[in-house]
């Protein structure tokens, strides 16, 4: 009876191994409606952002950098000249819909850049701190010092020193978000370091370099990937906050934060200026978080069967 059970287990294991990765990923997405909704919305935003220059070139979207003082603060609809402004115009006469579509490009660039840089930098710091005990206290106390400062305040200080540029926004948010990733990776490394297969590798005389890159680093990928999705959403919101406060991307560049900041004094009579970029910001951050939650559930064996 036991041999039959073992043969069945081996057969099922063989079937699992033969399933292509893309089919497994598709199955995981279809089992999680929230993850599917998040992916659909993110895909729509990415496609619109990529097509934005082409849509401007062929005239479907207006150039978000062109000012039109004669058509400033128009409500959604057509102007006296018959021009269609789907969501109205801003204080400088720029088409709000075109600015929001263009602003999604800035949000995606900042979110993706910060997520990758903070995940990589935080992982390196966390692995070094978790594996090398002598450096642990020094590194993590420094990380704790950074985390003790409110993130948005630290980002504002860095932007005041560096100046309002897109690259500086990415750098500032990377500095703010890296310590959180380092703490997560460090805790994973501390657990892996005490595992039996690492003890066995040490017993067989494996070098620290081999243990680090063969056994420890690969096992941190799953939590880092999940953390990167939340860093993406956090970076989008932080960039919008910095731009809204005038400490982020230059005000002439149409980002969602700049549009909201530009329209806040006209909110009572022209709420359309603020509503569309606010909705875009809210739903994109929500979609990324939904995708991150689904990804975490798919990668966590304890939660995989509950989705």
Give per-residue pLDDT as tens, 137-173. 899 999 999 999 999 999 999 999 999 999 999 999 9
Q: Render pLDDT for 78-131 as a digit per residue (tens, 0 to 9).
A: 877 777 888 889 998 899 999 999 999 999 999 999 999 999 999 999 999 988
d(CA 174, CA 180): 11
Angle at 224 between CA 159 and CA 40, to 5 degrees: 85
Residue 210, domain CATH: 1.10.3720.10
- Of the chain, the end-to-end C-alpha distance in Å amounts to 33
pTM to 2 decimal places: 0.85
Q: Is residue 276 part of a domain?
A: yes
- Residue 300 pLDDT exceeds 60: yes
- Asked if residue 144 lies in contact with residue 129, where contact means CB atoms within 8 angstroms, the answer is no
Confidence category of residue 13, pLDDT binned at 50, 70, 90:
low
Q: How far is CA 211 from CA 14, 126, 147, 200, 225, in A?
A: 28, 15, 30, 10, 21
Q: Is residue 114 part of a domain?
A: yes
Q: Is residue 210 part of a domain?
A: yes
Confidence category of residue 296, pLDDT binned at 50, 70, 90:
confident
Q: Which domain holds residue 131?
A: 28-64+107-304
Q: Calculate Rg over the CA atoms of the chain.
A: 24
d(CA 204, CA 215): 14
Q: Determine the pLDDT at residue 24.
A: 64
d(CA 123, CA 212): 12
Q: Determine the pLDDT at residue 12.
A: 44
Q: 174-194 burial, b if ≥16 CB within 10 A, otherwise e?
A: bbbbbbbbbbbbbebbeebbe
Q: Determine the pLDDT at residue 294.
A: 85
CA of residue 54 relative to chain centroid, distance: 25
- Residue 307 pLDDT exceeds 50: no
In the three-class reduction of DSSP (H, G, I as helix; E, B as strand; rest coil), residue 84 is classed as strand
Q: Render pLDDT for 14-32 as a digit per residue (tens, 0 to 9).
A: 545 556 655 666 776 677 8
Q: Is residue 72 part of a domain?
A: no
Q: Is residue 89 part of a domain?
A: no
d(CA 168, CA 158): 8
118 against 68, higher pLDDT: 118
% of the chain residues with pLDDT over 70 = 88
Burial (CB < 10 A; 0-12, 13-18, 19+), residue 218, is exposed
Q: Is residue 13 part of a domain?
A: no
- Asked if residue 212 lies in contact with residue 127, where contact means CB atoms within 8 angstroms, the answer is yes
Task: Output the six-digit token pair for 41.
Answer: 């919305």
- CB count, 10 Å around CB of 21? 7
d(CA 19, CA 59): 46
Strand partners, 89: 95
Confidence category of residue 191, pLDDT binned at 50, 70, 90:
confident
293 against 30, higher pLDDT: 293
Mean per-residue pLDDT of the chain: 85
CA of residue 53 relative to chain centroid, distance: 23
Q: State the total domains in the chain.
A: 1
Task: Output the six-digit token pair for 279.
Answer: 């909705």
Q: Is residue 270 part of a domain?
A: yes
Q: Is residue 69 part of a domain?
A: no
């Amino acid at each position: 009876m036991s041999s039959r059970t073992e043969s069945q287990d081996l057969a099922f294991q063989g079937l699992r191994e033969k399933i292509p990765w893309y089919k497994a990923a598709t199955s995981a997405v279809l089992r999680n409606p929230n993850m599917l909704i998040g992916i659909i919305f993110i895909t729509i935003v990415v496609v619109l952002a990529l097509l934005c220059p082409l849509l401007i070139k062929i005239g479907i979207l207006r150039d978000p950098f062109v000012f039109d003082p004669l058509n400033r603060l128009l409500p959604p609809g057509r102007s006296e000249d018959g021009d269609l402004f789907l969501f109205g115009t801003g204080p400088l006469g720029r088409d709000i819909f075109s600015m929001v579509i263009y602003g999604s490009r800035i949000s995606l660039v900042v979110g993706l850049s910060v997520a990758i840089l903070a995940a990589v930098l935080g992982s390196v710091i966390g692995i070094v701190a978790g594996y090398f005990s002598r450096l642990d206290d020094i590194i993590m106390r420094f990380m704790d010092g950074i985390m003790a400062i409110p993130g948005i305040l630290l980002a504002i200080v860095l932007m005041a020193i560096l100046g309002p540029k897109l690259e500086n926004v990415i750098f500032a948010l990377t500095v703010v978000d890296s310590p959180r990733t380092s703490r997560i990776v460090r805790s994973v490394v501390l657990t892996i370091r005490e595992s039996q297969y690492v003890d066995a590798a040490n017993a067989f005389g494996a070098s620290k370099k081999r243990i680090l890159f063969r056994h420890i680093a690969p096992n941190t990928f799953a939590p880092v990937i999940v953390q990167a999705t939340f860093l993406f959403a956090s970076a989008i919101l932080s960039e919008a906050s910095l731009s809204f406060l005038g400490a982020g991307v230059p005000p002439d560049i149409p980002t969602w934060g700049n549009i909201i900041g530009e329209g806040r004094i006209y909110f009572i009579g022209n709420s359309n200026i603020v509503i569309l970029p606010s909705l875009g910001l809210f739903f994109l951050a929500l979609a990324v978080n939904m995708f991150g939650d689904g990804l975490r559930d798919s990668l966590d064996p304890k939660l995989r069967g509950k989705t």
